[in-house]
């Protein structure tokens, strides 16, 4: 009879893998890609080094996997916030609030996506490009809708979306450098939302 792992064994393995990946996000965010080591990751996750190599052949493979996973998480969260609102002011506030909440309560996710690995991994460049394209497209969709309703001045919504995406990322990163990001969060949501509406000449 072939060996089959029990549900309990699989759950234990899944828990170790999850713990290791969560620890890796924090380690990469804190130390940067080059300074972080496999030993740092397994120590932070409290797993054996063999557990790491059971799932991933090397640090680069893990980092690339985490980048794509965290990118999907951020984009899905923002997309859900946008789709749940009807007007551009509502969409801007909801999406920016969702982004700020991730930054405040899961700062390592934002650090990994916006800072981690920049210039360190040639293999990351294409993935980062895909992420930025998806993020821009996400911001462009509500702008196109508002333009169709004649609520915006005539403009290239692609360029506007690129500018909005860059501005939001910059403010989010600066928020994380504040002594108490949670205290500043609601002000950032309010100011960024107002900035976005002014920047695209919203006239709803």
Position 121 scores a pLDDT of: 81
The reply to whether 8-56 and 58-199 are identical in fold is no
Q: What's this model's pTM, rounded to 2 decimal places? A: 0.87
Span 8-56: which CATH code?
1.10.10.60
With b meaning 16 or more CB within 10 Å and e meaning fewer, what string describes 35-48?
ebebebbbebbebe
Distance of alpha carbon 200 from alpha carbon 155, whole angstroms: 8
Position 9 scores a pLDDT of: 60
Position 29 scores a pLDDT of: 87
Position 115 scores a pLDDT of: 84
Position 10 scores a pLDDT of: 60
Position 4 scores a pLDDT of: 56
Instruction: For 58-199, give the CATH class.
Output: mainly alpha
Position 1 scores a pLDDT of: 46
Q: What is the mean pLDDT of each run of 10 residues along the chain (204 residues)?
A: 56 80 91 91 93 93 92 95 94 97 93 80 88 96 96 96 96 95 97 97 90
Which candidate, 84, 97, 69, places its Cα nearest to that of 175?
A: 97
Ranges of each domain in the chain: 8-56, 58-199
Residue 23 per-residue DSSP state: H
For 2, list phi and psi in degrees, rounded to 5.
Answer: -70, 145
- What sign does the dihedral 120-123-124-130 (CA atoms) show? positive
Distance of alpha carbon 25 from alpha carbon 93, whole angstroms: 27
């Amino acid at each position: 009879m072939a060996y089959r792992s029990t549900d309990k064994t699989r759950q234990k393995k899944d828990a170790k893998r999850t713990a290791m990946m969560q620890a890796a996000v924090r380690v990469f965010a804190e130390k940067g890609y080059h300074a972080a080591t496999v030993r740092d990751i397994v120590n932070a996750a409290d797993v054996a080094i063999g557990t790491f190599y059971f799932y991933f052949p090397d640090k680069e493979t893990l980092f690339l996997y985490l980048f794509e996973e965290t990118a999907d998480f951020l984009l899905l969260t923002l997309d859900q916030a946008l789709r749940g609102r009807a007007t551009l002011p509502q969409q801007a506030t909801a999406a920016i609030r969702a982004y700020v909440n991730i930054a405040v309560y899961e700062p390592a996710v934002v650090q990994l996506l916006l800072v981690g690995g920049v210039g360190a991994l040639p293999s990351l460049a294409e993935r980062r490009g895909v992420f930025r394209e998806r993020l821009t497209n996400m911001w462009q969709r509500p702008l196109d809708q508002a333009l169709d309703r004649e609520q915006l001045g005539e403009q290239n919504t692609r360029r506007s979306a690129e500018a909005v995406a860059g501005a939001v990322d910059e403010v989010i990163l600066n928020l994380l450098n504040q002594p108490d990001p949670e205290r500043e969060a609601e002000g950032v949501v309010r100011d960024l939302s107002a900035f976005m509406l002014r920047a695209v000449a919203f006239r709803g």
